[in-house]
């Protein structure tokens, strides 16, 4: 059996699966302190005979093999978790291989292996939620260490919002993540109707970001997940913006199959963590 942890800033999802990665049991618990949360995680996993565990974690985390803080959560506004040796804690509890990557890379791995990227060599998974982050698998290899949410964009002519990013103000995340939409309009994105102008502005920014990713990473498919992308009217708008910006400079594939939602839905992350477990043996 394999174990998987999708460690988010708000909640942890733990699952166990059989050799075919079919999930047989799962739990969801709130993210409180490392001691409290991990105690519940261990209580769950202790009931199974696991061969390996995979972790996709909120961060920033250290994924540089050989680094003294490899496996740690680094600086985070969730202070109880700052500098916490998450991987070390799991490894010392279970003497089995433990795979370790970021939450968004976990989702990318899940979609690549068993979702919308199945059968392809190069994909990009972008999450548009509380933050914006990308996980890229290029020629079959996961690229660690990308921070694709903080790229700079051209501001929309009608946008007078300065952005939420504490580092850059109006980077992609600062202008287009869920909290930016909420602050710009003074109402949560989920409560704005599908016809609201917010979605045209959102697509304007996401289209620019995708143009940059297409030109630099050349993925065969781009999967857009996260809470904001639950607004499904965004998909045709983003495809349109991408096509408009590209101006035919390179031939884009059929956009309806190029820019897509996650096939695994909210299970992309936990599925990726299971694949990570299986591959870490
Ligand atoms: P996280 O990024 O924290 O893992 P989510 O991907 O669910 O979690 O993203 C949460 C963000 O997405 C919040 O800013 C929230 O306002 C926004 N969001 C969630 N659901 C929707 C929705 N249906 N429409 C628009 N925005 C949403
Ligand atoms: Zn930024």
DSSP bridge pairs for 152: 171
Residue 118 CB less than 6 A away from ligand 1: no
Q: What is the mean pLDDT of residues 140-169?
A: 96
Task: Give the ligand 1 atom nearest the CA of 10.
Answer: 3
Q: Is 130 in the pocket of ligand 1 (CB under 6 A)?
A: yes
Q: Is the CB of 231 under 6 A from ligand 1?
A: yes
Please identify, by atom number, the ligand 1 atom nearest to the C-alpha of residue 231: 24
Q: How far is the CA of 183 from the centre of ligand 1 (A)?
A: 13
Closest residue by Cα to atom 14, ligand 1, is: 178
- pLDDT-derived band at 70 (thresholds 50, 70, 90) equals very high
The structure's pTM equals: 0.96
Three-state SS letters, the chain: CEEEEEECCCEEEEEEECCCCCEEEEEEEECCCHHHHHHHHHHHHCCCCCCEEEEEECCCECCCCCCCCCCEECCCCCHHHCCCEHHHHHHHHCCCCEEEEEHHHHHHHHHHHHCCCCCCCCEEEEEECCCEEEEEEECCEEECCCCHHHCECCCCCCCCCCCCECCCECEHHHHHCHHHHHHHHCCCHHHCCCCCCHHHHHHHHHHHHHHHHHHHHCCCEEEEECHHHHCCCHHHHHHHHHHHHHCCCCCCCCHHHHEECCCCHHHHHHHHHHHHHHHCC
Q: How far is the CA of 259 from the centre of ligand 2 (A)?
A: 23
Instruction: State the closest ligand 1 atom to the C-alpha of 182, by its place in the atom list counted from 1.
Output: 16
Q: Provide the pLDDT for residue 197.
A: 97
Regarding the beta carbon of 190 and ligand 1, being less than 6 Å apart is answered yes
Kindly give the distance from the C-alpha atom of residue 274 to the centroid of ligand 2, in angstroms, as a whole number: 30
Mean pLDDT of 144-172: 96
Mean pLDDT computed over 181-197: 98
Rounded (5°) CA angle 96-36-90 = 10
Task: Report the percentage of the chain scoring pLDDT > 90.
Answer: 96
The rounded Å distance from CA 164 to ligand 2 centre is: 8
Distance 45 CA to ligand 2 centre (A): 37
**Which ligand places an atom closest to the C-alpha of 166?**
2
The whole-number average pLDDT for the span 125-136 is: 96
Write down the mean pLDDT value for the chain: 97
Tens of pLDDT along 75-123? Answer: 888 899 999 999 999 999 999 999 999 999 999 999 999 999 999 999 9
For the stretch 10-52, pLDDT in tens is: 999 999 999 999 999 999 999 999 999 999 999 999 999 999 9
Nearest CA to ligand 1 atom 15: 178
Kindly tell me if the per-residue pLDDT of 145 is higher than 90. Answer: no
pLDDT at site 76? 84
pLDDT above 90 (res 135): yes
Residue 185: its pLDDT value, please?
A: 98
Nearest residue (by CA) to ligand 1, atom 24, is 190
């Amino acid at each position: 059996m394999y174990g998987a942890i999708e460690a988010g800033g708000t909640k942890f999802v733990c699952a166990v699966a059989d050799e075919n990665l079919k999930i047989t049991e799962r739990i969801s618990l709130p993210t409180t302190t490392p001691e409290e949360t991990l105690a519940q995680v261990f209580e769950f996993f202790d009931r199974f005979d696991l061969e390996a565990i995979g972790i996709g974690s909120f961060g920033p985390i250290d994924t540089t093999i050989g680094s003294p803080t490899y496996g740690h959560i680094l600086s985070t506004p969730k202070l109880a978790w700052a500098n916490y040796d998450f991987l070390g804690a799991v490894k010392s509890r279970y003497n089995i291989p433990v795979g370790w990557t970021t939450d968004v890379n976990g989702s990318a791995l899940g979609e690549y292996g068993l979702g919308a990227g199945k059968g392809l060599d190069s994909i990009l998974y972008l999450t548009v939620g509380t933050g914006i982050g990308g996980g890229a698998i290029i020629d079959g290899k996961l690229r660690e260490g990308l921070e694709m949410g903080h790229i700079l964009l051209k501001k929309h002519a009608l946008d007078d919002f300065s952005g939420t990013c504490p580092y850059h103000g109006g980077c992609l995340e600062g202008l287009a993540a869920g909290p930016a939409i909420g602050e710009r309009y003074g109402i949560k994105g989920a409560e704005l109707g599908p016809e609201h102008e917010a979605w045209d502005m959102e697509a304007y920014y996401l289209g620019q970001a995708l143009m940059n990713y297409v030109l630099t990473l050349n993925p065969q498919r781009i999967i857009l997940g996260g809470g904001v992308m639950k607004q499904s009217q965004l998909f045709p708008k983003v495809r349109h913006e991408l096509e408009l910006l590209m101006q035919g400079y390179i031939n884009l594939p059929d956009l309806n199959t190029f820019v897509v939602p996650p096939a695994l839905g909210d299970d992309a992350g936990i599925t990726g963590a299971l694949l990570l477990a299986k591959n870490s043996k």
